[in-house]
Amino acid sequence: MKSIHSLKDVKERLQAGFDNKEDSIQDSGERNGTQLKAYLIENNNVAPLDVGSPKGEWRELEDKKWFVNIDKDYPETFYLDTTRSRVWILYSIIDTNHSDIFVKDWIGRGKKLDRCWLSRKQLLHWGDLTNASWVKRGVGLAFSDGLSPEEDAANFSLKAWHGKKRLPAGLEKVLTTAQKEFAIHSIRWQKRTNSSVDMSTEWYSNGKVTINRATDVDDVFIWVAEMANYYSNALKNATNLRDTTFAAFELDFSQEINLNAFTGKVLNGAGDMKLWLTETERQKDFARYKGVDLHTWDRIFIDIGTNYAYLTIPKGGCVNAAPRIATIQGEDNAGYTKIFHEGVEVFA
């Protein structure tokens, strides 16, 4: 296999994978081969060579700000687009299970790296575009009740995929009702031209997208970059609002949460929320915390009630903490969560 030295080489390798999958669909009706995955990575002022790769180290391509990994076991399987200073795009061609584990470990050990945590409106972004034929093909909802003991936890998971025909009326009603209360974990979108499928994707709330089917690698890069730019603009907007007004971000939860259990989660700094907090005030239905965001070690302050929270991030701190907390708390125990700043919805 030809070694990768340029962005053109990356595109040729990915296009060959798409073409092989299309041939497989034509021959057997099955989609054989590994799916391309892309992860949106929030970068807080760190250089790619300083954080290493999910596997091995980075080597910069002839096209500046693009990198490929060097590794004994998984060589040239990760490609990193750092052309945006705040939101990187990490592409992976290895199997999903290994890829997700490697990426999670990389973000966990990478100083000042975080995921891009997509809100409901960001996941629905493709339906708002008028210059492309994107069709929603299903939704996945999640609620894990992660603040309750295992023996008392109530868990809910629903994935409803459909083709050209809509869901049956009864199931459509159930799904509509459930979406009002529970967080959206993923949405499937298809890009179509007339009767043919140009691209089939599944976007996840943790900033990951799987490309289940595609015909043109340039088209894939364009549309993944669309979401990266959308999220980057949301970060800039939220930062500007915070720096201008110094007001807190408000998180509204559709489900009530257990304050005692929340305290237990954040006191030791464990988990994907990356918070290390100390409780400073407590009432029956209210708690106040101060501490640090382990993503950047910046100070944060949180006032939290049973169905809301006020998150204060001092100037200079990373506002990505707001969508991170909203997404993880939403899927873990708080249900459908919105973020506001002085009454205006942000990350939307």
Mean of pLDDT values over 290-309: 93
The residue written with tokens 């965001």 in the block is 293
Report pLDDT digits (tens) over 244-286.
998 999 999 887 877 887 787 788 777 788 899 999 999 989 9
Q: pLDDT per residue over 121-158, tens digit each?
A: 999 998 887 667 888 888 888 766 555 555 555 566 77
- Look at residue 113 and tell me whether its pLDDT is greater than 60: yes
> Residue 170 CB: number of other CB atoms within 10 A?
8
Compute the 3-state secondary structure of the chain and give helix, strand, coil in percent, each to the nearest 5. 30, 35, 35
128 residue type, one letter: D
pLDDT digit string (tens) for 180-226? 777 888 999 999 888 888 999 999 999 999 999 999 999 999 999 99
Residues written for the chain: 348
Per-residue pLDDT tens digits for 302-329: 999 988 999 999 999 999 999 998 888 8
Domains and CATH numbers, the chain: 7-115 (no CATH), 120-238 (no CATH), 246-345 (3.60.90)
Give the pair of three-digit tokens for residue 222: 């364009």
Displacement of CA 236 from its chain's centroid (Å):
17
Query: Which contacts qualify for 169-174: CB closer than 8 Å, 24 or more apart?
Result: none
Residue reference for tokens 């049956």: 168
Task: Report helix, strand or coil for 31.
Answer: coil
pLDDT tens, 20-46?
Answer: 877 665 655 555 568 999 999 999 989
Mean pLDDT for all residues in the chain: 87
Confidence of residue 78 (pLDDT cuts 50, 70, 90): very high
Contacts of 278 (CB under 8 A, 6+ apart): 267, 289, 290, 291
pLDDT of residue 24: 62
Whose CA is closest to 298, among 279, 317, 274? Answer: 317
**332 vs 226: CA distance, rounded Å:** 28
Say whether 24 sits in a helix, a strand or coil. helix
pLDDT band for position 238 (cuts 50, 70, 90): very high
Q: What is the pTM of this model?
A: 0.91
Report, as an integer, the average pLDDT of 160-172.
Answer: 69
Q: CA 106 to CA 139: how far, in whole Å?
A: 28
